[in-house]
Amino acid sequence: MTNSLLDIEGIRVGHYTDLENVTGCTVVLAPRDGAIAGVDVRGPAPGTRETDLLRPGHLVERAHAILLTGGSAFGLDAAAGVMRFLEEQNIGFETGAARVPIVPAAVLFDLGIGNANVRPDANAGYLACQNANRLAFGEGSVGAGTGATVGKLLGPHFATKGGIGSSSQQIGDGVMVAALVAVNCFGDVVDPTSNEIIAGARKPEGNGWLDSANAIKQDLAQMLNTRVANTTIGVVATNARLTREQVNIVAMMAHDGIARATRPSHTLFDGDTIFILATGEVESAYLDAIGHTAAEVVATAIVRGVKAAKSLGGVPSIQDLV
């Protein structure tokens, strides 16, 4: 086991990382025939693509890739490159006239840390696909986590570097559940095992964490200039055989992982979005267990993402702060 999304057979992960401009994107490639896909958009400020398609009652049930990207809404352009890559592999939904790759996507806001004029584009999405493999992928300040930051109650000058992380668990009957999460939250990151803040808004007067969850109750005026620079986005995958309705239930439950590991979470200034991919290799009746485990691996992936992050764009990582 790799303790990552790669523990789901057939899944490949690839990054495109632009360290000079502090942005990037990450693609999750499903098996060739796609995977049953769902989504839950819990944040009030999302930037997304093809999410309506993933809800129950719609024609197409399978996605062929999921894109997580920086660049705010501009970054959705990277999905065109993912589609081009898949089309070249003759992968997509058969329409009779052509195979159309289904590539849902979500963005996070990283324009304030690097060069706001350079965002992931179609070429970036294509290169992320070329980098995708089943052997290994980086965590921290790579891909969609390159420009991620956390703890922005006092603005970017007191924020901490976010990143992208992954985690997996095996439960009964050989079911695997894994997550890949790009952490760019408005709030602080909390380790659920200790309930301690490990990254977030830093105190202006010295060392230590401000504790955004408590500070937000005291002085809302501190939130100036922090209103759009956030969002936690991720992909949960499982080898269980699930229906479209069931994957959307798992997506709903997976958001509990964001709530456990970021504080406050799902704020007005976050666009938190979780996608689900079910490859269907293992028959399982453990829907509640899958959803519960999804929340756990999401929380663990968030913690791993910030722990692996490097200082970039003038924003320190917890490695340097500690």
For 186-202, how does the pLDDT look when each residue is reduced to its tens digit (9 = 90+)? 999 999 999 999 999 99
Residue 36: which of 72, 60, 57, 12 has the closest Cα? Answer: 60
Give the Cα separation of 209 and 260 in Å (integer).
Answer: 18
Strands 105-107 and 149-150: unpaired
Pick the closest to residue 251 from 47, 51, 70, 14 (CA basis). 51
DSSP bridge pairs for 49: 105
Residue 220 pLDDT > 60, yes or no? Answer: no
In the predicted model, is pLDDT for residue 1 greater than 90?
A: no
pLDDT, residue 226, reads 52
Residue 138 near residue 309, CB atoms below 8 Å:
no
Strand ordering across the sheet containing 262-263 = 196-199, 188-191, 262-263
* Separation CA 218–CA 154 (nearest Å): 13
Positive or negative, the CA dihedral 189, 162, 31, 57 is: positive
Yes or no: say if 43 and 229 are a contact pair by the CB < 8 Å rule. no
Asked if 6 and 30 count as a contact pair (C-beta separation under 8 A), the reply is no
Q: In the predicted model, is pLDDT for residue 77 greater than 90?
A: yes
pTM for the structure as a whole: 0.96
pLDDT single digits (tens) 90-135: 999 999 999 999 999 999 999 999 999 999 999 999 999 999 999 9
User: Other C-beta atoms within 10 Å of 118: how many?
Assistant: 16
49, 104 Cβ separation under 8 angstroms: yes
Residue whose token pair is 């970039």: 312
pLDDT band at residue 18 using 50, 70 and 90 as cut-offs: very high
